[in-house]
Amino acid sequence: MADMPISKLAVIIPFFQARSGILIRALQSIIEQDVPKGWIVEVVVVDDGSPIGVADEVDGLILGKAIELKVVRQPNGGVAAARNRGLDEISSDVSIISFLDSDDIWASHHVGRMIKELSSGKNFYFTDNRRLGFHDSYIANSAYELRNFLKSAPVYDGMVSISPDAMIKFIVNEFPAQISTIGYTRSMAPDIRFDTRMSSAGEDLLFLVKLVSLSESVLFDTQNCVECGDGLNMYFGQLRWDSPKFLYIKVDEVICHKTIEKIKSLSAENRRVNISRLRHHQRELGLHIVRNLTLTPGRLVGPIKRLIAIYPLLSISIPYYTLRGVFAILYRALKGAAPA
């Protein structure tokens, strides 16, 4: 009897951590997957100049027959650059692509369910996630519109079908498909890459909007298959308005939604939704420009230079953002002073 043809799913793991023992948890969760017969899971770990090296983390790790591990190293370039390097390094015969952040883990049935759906003609798959100490379900906690949609949507074999157009709206408004929760067919978007101009926020959201805009089908797995960890996170670790990098987050959010505007296939409704989110982030940017002007003016130079370098015409709008920020601060101060 002829050998069964081998198919491959790639898992790309960007690695930059300051504490040992984190990566091994992620890799162990891959090793424990119920991999369907005839499939190989190709794991590409990109050491992005990590303070903790990959070699010590994987020393003595027993992979099993269905797992292949490749480690590549590069100077620190950020998570988007690391994921792009992983996309460049996967084998030519990989047919399904997925991502796993180095501090996240998968339930043992995740890969099997993803492969079943994406090898049957579907394009894009995602599931919910939980984050210890924050939420048991991101969708229940932070995705109101998708949660309401799922209440009445038909479920077949644990999966819910969502139109790509509706999914783009959910992503732009609520970002329910975190990177560690997705898988997609390589043939759908063989050349897609993360936008490295953003290093603090927005690169994941932009990637997913671009990816789903190329998709013909979206499936949501009703089983929550992903647990997000507590390692170094360049976004959550800076998500405080007094953080030195917080203004970069506000700038990158504006850049993200300005870039989404350029996607030609967006529906009129999704353009409207994206414009609404863009205006929200512009107001937030103005507020934090004023805060930094008042308290830490030296922090303004880098992020504003980034914004103008990428979208020069936005330099005209910066005074307007700032004025809106002044009004926002005054409004909040007056509201706080008003009698109950």
When mean pLDDT is compared across 53-67, 79-93, 318-332, the lowest value belongs to 318-332
pLDDT (tens digit per residue) in 31-72 = 999 999 999 999 999 999 988 888 888 877 888 889 999 999
Residue 1: what pLDDT?
Answer: 37
Structural domain spans, the chain? 7-232, 240-337
C-alpha 112/C-alpha 204 separation (Å) is 24
Tokens of 36: 């369907």
Among 108, 100, 104, 174, CA closest to 132: 104
Residue 237 has pLDDT above 70, yes or no: no
Please state, in angstroms and rounded to a whole number, the distance separating the CA atoms of residues 256 and 249: 10
pTM for the whole thing? 0.90
292 class by beta-carbon count within 10 Å (0-12 exposed, 13-18 middle, 19+ buried)? buried
Give the Cα separation of 130 and 114 in Å (integer): 18
**How many beta carbons lie within 10 A of that of residue 339, not counting itself?**
3
C-alpha 266/C-alpha 146 separation (Å) is 19
As a whole number, mean pLDDT of residues 16-24 equals: 87
Q: How confident is the model at residue 101 (pLDDT cuts 50, 70, 90)?
A: very high
pLDDT over 70 percentage in the chain? 90
Asked which of 26-30, 138-142, 230-234, 259-263 is least confident by mean pLDDT, the reply is 230-234
Query: 7-232: what fold?
Result: Spore Coat Polysaccharide Biosynthesis Protein SpsA; Chain A (3.90.550)
